[in-house]
Amino acid sequence: MNHIDTLAVHAGREDFAALGVHAPPIDLSTTYPVADLGEGTESFDALVGGAASAANPIYARLHNPTVGRVESALATLEGTEACVAYGSGMAALTAVLMGARSRGGHVLVVRPLYGTSDHLLASGLCGLEAEFVDAGDIAARLRADTALVIIETPANPTLDLIDIRAVVAAAGQVPVLVDSTFATPVLQKPAALGAAYVMHSATKFLGGHGDVIAGIVCCSEQRARPLRTVRAATGGLLHPLGAYLLHRGLPTLALRVERAQANAIELAGRLAAHPAVARVHFPGLGTVRNAHLVGTQMAGPGCLMAIDLRGGYEAAAAVMAKVRLMTPAVSLGSVDTLIQHPAGLTHRVVDPQARLDSGIGPGLLRLSVGIEAVDDLWADLAQALEGVALSAAA
């Protein structure tokens, strides 16, 4: 059982036959009876110390069986020993940053990346000095106290690609975290390329239906233990209902990604020929940095794109107001198509000059393409762009 389509359906369900169930059970207990104090004490020590499980879960902040099953499933999909789930993608990143402080106080970060991730790092809130660098400068900017290298590929929102294997080589002994939210394990496996941590906002493609907020970090068991300790101490555990929804969405992950990607490829080509569009940022068109990594590092170009409109901010605002089938909203990776304005929304918290330097201008819109009929999506985009095209031509 190695194909991603099969793994997505069956991973994390290994104990279902013994339990006599067909769907993931939801364990909503907040506390667990301790009939044997010695066993309870040993279990408590193990879980607080970062163990994946124990004879007694003790308390839901320390462990939950429903969460444990989806963690097992996602570790299988990413090809790692372990996965640690959190209540959001930002909680997941925070836990990694808190754990990194034991190795040093300096972090190298490649822009662009998700706006709130950028803001958290730039703020120094986690007690780390974040230095923003180009991927090609990582080796030269390493310091004795560099604890972590952080990249997001494909990048949010410009879809630029970063060579993970090259970054890992440049980082040397410093662990590399890859935010692989845009790619999903269907299209990219950072751990196989040497990444120490693979992070996802599981709210997006992994959940896939816009009804759960979650974050995950996939890594070795050795690296997972301190992440669980941070989670236990800070209360960042994913709620079991969220874990259930996340697990429920996984069997269709590959189907959803493949259909949405096919739609994105078609829409990107049509948008590239539209008079209102100055540029389409899409790996499948070769219009992003390192697009050659599609077919090697990535199995396909993915389901997201960004478009620069000739009419700038006014054109972007007009398109968001005029779409009828697409939803003008932040987030991504859902079954329906979402369109949003990064400079005004997801990346609003990023330093304005850093936004511009990263290619996030006032006329940029990001599309997360869904699984609808592609001609219906194009009809909606075409009518929304019609007035913009006339304005741009004038």
Do residues 303 and 368 touch, judged by C-beta distance below 8 A?
yes
CA distance 206 to 212: 10
Tokens 């490829």 label which residue? 265
Active site (annotated) includes residue 179: yes
253-393 — its CATH code? 3.90.1150.10
For the chain, residues with pLDDT lower than 50 are none
In this prediction, residue 389 carries a pLDDT of 64
Summarize pLDDT for 286-323 with one digit per residue, the tens. Answer: 999 999 999 999 999 999 999 999 999 999 999 999 99
Choose among 327, 345, 329: nearest CA to 337: 327
Distance, in Å, from the CA atom of 284 to the CA atom of 264, rounded to the nearest integer, reads: 9
**What pLDDT score does 226 carry?**
97
Q: Provide the whole-model pTM.
A: 0.96
Residue given tokens 């007035």 in the structure block: 387
Q: 286: left (phi > 0), else alpha (psi -120 to 50), else beta?
A: left
Provide the pLDDT for residue 198: 99
- The whole-number pLDDT of residue 267 equals 98
The DSSP H or E segment spanning 384 is: helix 374-393
Q: What is the pLDDT of residue 394?
A: 53
Among candidate residues 61, 141, 248, 270, the one labeled active-site is 61
* Catalytic-labelled residue, pool 111, 204, 256, 366: 204
Alpha carbon 232 to its chain centroid, in Å, reads 22
CB 342 within 8 A of CB 393: no
Task: List Cβ neighbours of 375 (8 Å cut-off, separation of 6 or more).
Answer: none
Q: Residue 149: beta bridge partners?
A: 108, 176
Per the CB < 8 A criterion, the answer to whether 262 and 284 are in contact is no
CA neighbours closer than 13 Å in the CB half-sphere of residue 140: 6
pLDDT of res. 390: 60
Point out the catalytic residue in the list 32, 86, 114, 197: 114
Which amino acid belongs to residue 339? I
Per-residue model confidence as pLDDT tens digits over 37-89 = 999 999 999 999 999 999 999 999 999 999 999 999 999 999 999 999 999 99
Residue tagged active-site, from 118, 160, 163, 179: 179
What's the half-sphere exposure (Cβ side, CA atoms, 13 Å) at 193?
A: 24
Q: In angstroms, what CA-CA distances link 293 with 29, 136, 153?
A: 46, 16, 11
CA dihedral (146, 147, 152, 158) in degrees, to 10, reads: -30
Looking at residue 363, what DSSP letter applies? T
Residue 189 annotated in active site: no
